[in-house]
Structure 1
Amino acid sequence: MLMRLYFSFLFFCGIWVFSSNRSHLLITLLSLEFIVLVLFVVVYFYLCSFNYEFYFVMLFLVFSVCEGSLGLSILVSMIRGFGNDYFQSYSVLQC
């Protein structure tokens, strides 16, 4: 019960950081990765408690790595194109 409360607290802390800080793209990507890691640990403990196979955990890790690399590539292309990663300096008409 305490472990479930701890993981819920970590997950909602990640959601709070993701929704409250909208100025930098890097902080937004880091909070998304934190949420993915918390979900990975929750799924891992859930599968361990029922003695299931860990194929889904490996598939989840593959998708989270793909999501992280896609986010970093978007970050690099935005920094090369605009010079910074501030959301306020971008215009929808320029993109």
Structure 2
Amino acid sequence: MLVYGFMFFIFMYFTGLLTMCLKCSHLLLMLLTLEFMVLSLFFGLVIFILTFMYESYFLMIFLSLSVCEGALGLSILVSMVRMYGNDYFNSFSILW
């Protein structure tokens, strides 16, 4: 059962990584796949911590930091959409 959990974690992580590489021009999809990768990392940490019976306080810290990361990404997305009108990377004059 533990091996299947680790295999599922690895599959989730690499699926998110592949999606992030394929959808690199759209900022909202990149943020969603980044959150999916953080969720898969959280799943892997839960499996690891419950397997070796460590303290689970690190999971709360990890969740707090991932929520802060998501809120920061969404606030940057909103400010970019207000400034440029869309969230495609090709339309930004900064990257040219």
Structure-2 separation of matches of 1:52 and 1:7: 19
Displacement of 1:87: 0.8
* Aligned residue pairs, count: 94
Identity of aligned residues (%): 51
Structure-2 separation of matches of 1:92 and 1:13: 30
TM-score, normalization: structure 1?
0.93
Structure-1 separation of matches of 2:68 and 2:38: 12
1:45-90 deviations in whole A, cap 9, x for unaligned? 1111111111100000011001000000000000000111111111
Q: CA RMSD in A?
A: 1.4
Q: Which runs of 5+ in 1 are unaligned?
A: none
Q: Which runs of 5+ in 2 are unaligned?
A: none
Displacement of 1:7: 1.3
Change (3 A) 1:46 1:77: same
TM-score, normalization: structure 2?
0.92
Structure 1: 4+ residue segments shifted above 4 A: none
